[in-house]
Amino acid sequence: EDKVVQSPLSLVVHEGDTVTLNCSYEVTNFRSLLWYKQEKKAPTFLFMLTSSGIEKKSGRLSSILDKKELFSILNITATQTGDSAVYLCAVEARAGGTSYGKLTFGQGTILTVHP
């Protein structure tokens, strides 16, 4: 069965700090890994990673995937109070059979950024 484990489960930092969120996974026939941000409502898409070693960046956020070691990290630099949210990591297996449309999520990391 596919499995995703995120760490830490919660993190409290001050504005301006840099944080690293971790996601390790086990999935048969890996297709992609996705990061989402959830603030009391729908998860909003951050990144999709399919290739190992290629960093995706968006402003202060960046993410990279290591397919050999089966993990990904999400970095947030110069954190702001608006970054406070739950960050979810999910994996998708190659389409087919019991994999169609199914994202397997980790427990999430609760990030709290204090002013």
Rule CB under 8 A: which residues touch other proteins? 31-32, 34, 36, 41-45, 48, 50, 88, 90, 95, 97-108
CA 25, chain centre distance (Å): 11
What's the min distance (Å) between Cβ of 115 and other proteins?
Answer: 27
Nearer to other proteins, 17 or 56 (CB): 56
Nearer to other proteins, 83 or 92 (CB): 92
What's the min distance (Å) between Cβ of 14 and other proteins?
Answer: 27
Nearer to other proteins, 65 or 88 (CB): 88
What's the rounded Cα separation, in Å, for the pair 69 and 83?
A: 28
What's the min distance (Å) between Cβ of 1 and other proteins?
Answer: 10
Q: What count of Cα atoms within 13 Å lies in the side-chain half-sphere of residue 79?
A: 22
Question: Residue for token digits 């909003």?
Answer: 44
In this structure, what token pair is assigned to residue 101? 């449309």
Q: Helix, strand or coil for residue 56?
A: strand
